Amino acid sequence: MALYSEKVMDHFRNPRNVGVIEDADGVGEVGNPVCGDIMKIYLKIEDDKIKDVKFETFGCGSAIASSSMATEMIMGKPISEAITLTNRAVTEALDGLPAHKLHCSVLAEEAVKTAVRDYYDRNGIAYDPSQFPSGEDCAHCDRA
């Protein structure tokens, strides 16, 4: 389908880093079933670096591709770098998304940040809350 770029279809058909990390150091889940997409990111962190990352996604093709791309973009990176991931960077790495699918890349950014915040919370590491999404609320519709 020409709805999506080749890059999106590649990440959708062959998603990278799908799965669960049972002993994850940080887990972030965003979205909700009513809106039709949930993303869950699992992080394994060592020496302030993302040693491993896995994702699970319930959602459309671009939601799956956005999660896959986001995990690839933060794998092996220092946490300080991972939390600067933006939805725009995810979208660009996917060679673009249709306008009505941009929220999928937003969810990917929020899922990563929520997982990092969980890691900070678990380890009593101080952080600036304004750097993180407000919670698990879906920002794209008000039915949550």
Partner 1 sequence: MTIYADNAATTKLSKTALNAMLPYLEEAYGNPSSLYAIGQRAKEGLEDARERVARCLGCTARELTFTSGGSEADNQALRSAAQQGARKGKKHIISTRFEHHAVLHPLKRLEGEGFEVTLLDVHANGVVEPEQVARAIREDTCLVSVMYANNEIGTVQPIAEIGKLCREKGVLFHTDAVQAVGHLPIDLAELPVDYLTLSGHKFHGPKGVGALFARRGAPLASLIEGGAQERGKRAGTENVASIAGMAAALEEATGGLDASVPRLTALRDRLIAGLEEIPYCELNGDRLRRLPGNVNFCFEGIEGESLLLLLDDKGISASSGSACTSGSLDPSHVLLAIGRPHEVAHGSLRLTLGADATEEEVDYLIASVKDVVAYLRGMSPFWRDLCSGKRPHVFEK
56 or 92: whose CB is closer to partner 1?
56
CB of 39 to partner 1, least distance (A): 8
Nearest partner of 63 among 28, 98, 21, judged by Cα: 98
Catalytic residue status for 138: no
CB of 91 to partner 1, least distance (A): 16
Evaluate whether 116 touches 43 at the Cβ level (below 8 Å): yes
Catalytic residue status for 35: yes
CA atoms within a 13 Å half-sphere pointing along the CA-CB vector of 58: 10
**Contact footprint for partner 1 (CB under 8 A):** 1, 9, 12-13, 15, 18-20, 29, 33-40, 55-61, 63-64, 100-101, 140-141, 143
Cα–Cα distance between 96 and 16 in angstroms, integer? 18
Task: Kindly tell me the sign of the dihedral angle through the C-alpha atoms of 123, 127, 129, 132.
Answer: negative
* 76: region left, alpha or beta (phi > 0 left; psi from -120 to 50 alpha): left
CB of 72 to partner 1, least distance (A): 15
Cα–Cα distance between 64 and 57 in angstroms, integer? 6
Q: What is the DSSP letter of 82?
A: H
CB of 122 to partner 1, least distance (A): 19
Please list the active-site residues.
35, 104
